[in-house]
Amino acid sequence: MIRLTALFPLACAITAFVLSMLCLFAGSKKGFMEEYHIVTLNTSTLGYNVLKPSTTSTASASQPTSLTSWITGEIQNITSIIEGDLTTIENDIANKLARELGIQEWYSLHMMDMCEGSYAPNATSKGAGFNTTECSNRTAMYHFNPTATINHELEVGGLNINISDIGWSNTIQGGINDLNAALDATFVLYCIGIGASGLAILTAPVSIFLESKLITFANLAIAFLAFLCLAIDSIIITVLEHQMVNDINKDGNKIGLYAYKGGKFLALTWSATALMLLASCTWVVEFWLRWRQVRREYTEKPLVGRTSQDTFDARGYPKM
Ligand SMILES: *[C@@H]1O[C@H](CO)[C@@H](O)[C@H](O)[C@H]1NC(C)=O
Ligand SMILES: *[C@@H]1O[C@H](CO)[C@@H](O)[C@H](O)[C@H]1NC(C)=O
Ligand SMILES: *[C@@H]1O[C@H](CO)[C@@H](O)[C@H](O)[C@H]1NC(C)=O
Ligand SMILES: *[C@@H]1O[C@H](CO)[C@@H](O)[C@H](O)[C@H]1NC(C)=O
Ligand SMILES: *[C@@H]1O[C@H](CO)[C@@H](O)[C@H](O)[C@H]1NC(C)=O
Ligand SMILES: *[C@@H]1O[C@H](CO)[C@@H](O)[C@H](O)[C@H]1NC(C)=O
């Protein structure tokens, strides 16, 4: 007998397999699913604090004259055109500061690399898209280190400053380091999750053609393993993303650095998790039905000499 109920967990496993592959590979190539990042840093106003030297005395003490003079000149240029419109000045700074410093407007973390680029059409337009300039080489167990990249870009940039001049604190790098250790674990768990959902694609069709308690149980175990790995991954990433964004924004906002959570990545990883949960539940129901049927056959066996219709009704219960 062909049992088509196994088609449902099969469809779940195929979709979850594709989605969890995308979790690993999103953003691994320049421009490929860039918006599915784990975290993104908006650096379009990084260094903005040097505009207000009174607020941070340490930053103003070490601030380079070339950057200050550029900003002063920029403000004078704009104010001469549009008198006293502060928003216009801020927008213009946001769209020019990064280029002037020699850095990019955003840096984003993916499972296997970091990408960077500019906002399109510009940094202050609503719902701006991501124009990727460059991605780091794809690496298993990638460690996010935007500090080194930005510092390098600042040093080769024309203004001759480094990341500590801007006021980049240890708390910011600390928030990032916390995530890195957990990223190793999530990478391994994604690999197991992908492997298990891939195996589920191979074993689920067996259940369509073969009625076997053992095969049903194997399918349940495989689907549940995939669910478990993906669920732990999703929880780790949800929690750490939240914590990292908070840590970075706490100190970063003062220097014009903004971190955002990757909502689309979360949607991807939680969808894959939910699908494997559905597949597992289907196998639990299948297994329970099979187990009940086997138990009924077992209780019928000792009644030699009498047909089961004599003592049992159609549902398998003893007749009164
Ligand atoms: C200000 O404008 C002048 C001419 O329009 C230009 O040469 C100069 O580079 C501008 N300064 C800045 C800082 O953009
Ligand atoms: C993307 O960035 C490149 C340079 O980095 C630029 O030439 C191109 O015009 C940008 N595209 C958009 C749509 O802004
Ligand atoms: C980047 O940050 C600046 C400063 O807060 C903000 O004005 C701008 O809208 C942000 N851009 C994007 C695309 O989020
Ligand atoms: C940014 O883009 C928006 C929408 O395209 C445009 O209205 C705005 O003038 C641009 N701002 C700057 C400073 O170029
Ligand atoms: C990335 O890979 C290319 C080619 O494999 C190599 O030449 C380059 O040095 C690598 N870059 C980094 C930052 O490791
Ligand atoms: C940045 O430059 C200052 C001097 O300009 C130096 O004291 C400091 O060690 C540098 N920091 C880094 C991270 O290179």
User: Residue 127 CA: which ligand 3 atom is closest?
Assistant: 13
For 213, list phi and psi in degrees, rounded to 5: -65, -40
Indicate the pTM of the whole model. 0.80
Comparison of pLDDT for 232 and 252, the residue scoring more: 232
Q: How many angstroms is it from 202 CA to the middle of ligand 5?
A: 37
Percent of the chain with pLDDT over 90: 41
Measuring from atom 9 of ligand 4, which residue has the nearest CA?
125
The 10s digit of each residue's pLDDT in 18-68 is 999 999 999 999 989 999 999 999 998 887 766 544 333 444 444 556 666
Q: How many angstroms is it from 58 CA to the middle of ligand 1?
A: 29
Q: Is there an atom of ligand 1 within 6 Å of 35 CB?
A: no
Of 239, 250, 279, 276, nearest in space to 38 by CA: 239
User: Are the CB atoms for 123 and 44 separated by under 8 Å?
Assistant: yes
Q: How many angstroms is it from 248 CA to the middle of ligand 2?
A: 27
User: Residue 117 CA: which ligand 2 atom is closest?
Assistant: 5
Question: From the CA of 117, which ligand is nearest?
Answer: 2
The 10s digit of each residue's pLDDT in 189-218 is 999 999 999 999 999 999 888 888 889 999
